[in-house]
Amino acid sequence: MDNALREPATVLLFGGTSDIGLAIVRELLTPATRAVVLACRDEAAGERCAAALRHDTLTVEVVPYDGADPAAALPLVEGVVARHGDLDLAILAHGQLGDPASTTTDPVAAAALLTVNTTSVVAAAVAVGTTMRAQGHGDIVVLSSVAGERVRSANPVYGGSKAGVDGFAQGYGDLVAADGVHVMVVRPGFVHSAMTTGLRPAPFATTPEAVAAVTVKALRARRRMVWAPTVLRLVFSALRHVPAPVWRRLPLG
C-alpha cells in the first residue's frame, strides 16, 4: 500500500516497453517500491527493460499482454494481485499510432487500432479499477494525448481513439473516487519516442522524461488531469474554439 508520502509499493505498467510508461516508473521509484510488473506483447524487449530497473530490493516481473485482446486484462490483474498483494498504481500506456493511410481507408485496420487504443484500455482500467475498489485504494494513470482534445484530419482514427479513452477515464474517475480510487489523465503533446521516430516534431515537442516528471508531481498532488508540457493546456483552450473552416486549414500536421 502507498505510504504517507504516496509512494506505491506495487506498480503495474500496461505497455511495459512504452518509453513514456517506463520513464514514469523510473521517476516514481523509491525505496518503498517492492514490485514492478511490465505487461507487454514483446516479452524479450520487456526483459531488457526489466533488467535496467531491477535491483536487490526491487522485483521486476514481465508478463505477456496483447492490447489486441481486451479479455486478457482481468486475469492479468488477478494474477498480479495473487503474486504481489494489493495493487497501488497502474499505468495504462499501451497503444499504437497506426498508419492513417490504412486506418482511414480500411475498416478492419481502423477497428484494430480502436481495439488496441480504446477498447483494451477501457478493459484494463475496469479490471484494475474493480480490484482497487475492493481494496479501498489505488491510483490509475491513463495516457491520453492532446490528439484527442480536438481530432485532426491527419490521423482521425488515432485521435478519435484517444478522445474515447480520455472521456471514459474522466467519467470512470468520477465513479470510482468514492471507493478510494484516484484516476488521472495525462495529455502529452508530441513526445520524442520510439512511436514517433521519423515523424516531424510538432510545436512544444517534449521527452518521455519531461512527461514523467510532470506526471509524478501531479499524481502525488492528486490531480485529475495533467498536460505535458503544461503550456499545451493554454494552446488547446484556444484551439478548441477555432471555427471548423479555419481549423481545417491550420498547419497542424
Contact assessment for residue 93 and residue 25, using Cβ atoms and an 8 Å cutoff: no
Residue 158 appears among annotated catalytic residues: yes
CA distance 65 to 246: 42
Listing DSSP states for 98-145 in one string gives: --HHHHTT-HHHHHHHHIIIIIHHHHHHHHHHHHHHHHT-EEEEEE--
* Angle 13-222-128 from CA coordinates, rounded to 5°: 35
CA distance 83 to 11: 13
Cell 499545451 belongs to residue: 232
Q: Report the DSSP pairing between strands 181-188 and 10-14.
A: unpaired
Which entry of 65, 158, 168, 172 is annotated as an active-site residue?
Answer: 158
Contact assessment for residue 229 and residue 215, using Cβ atoms and an 8 Å cutoff: no
For helices 73-84 and 120-135, angle between their N-to-C axes, nearest 10 degrees: 30
The answer to whether the Cα torsion of 46, 66, 224, 210 is positive or negative is positive
How far CA 74 is from CA of 102, 126, 128, 162, in Å, comes to: 31, 8, 8, 22
Question: Residue by residue, what is the 3-state secondary structure of 36-81?
Answer: EEEEECCHHHHHHHHHHHCECCEEEEEEECCCCCHHHHHHHHHHHH
Catalytic residues, by residue number, are 158
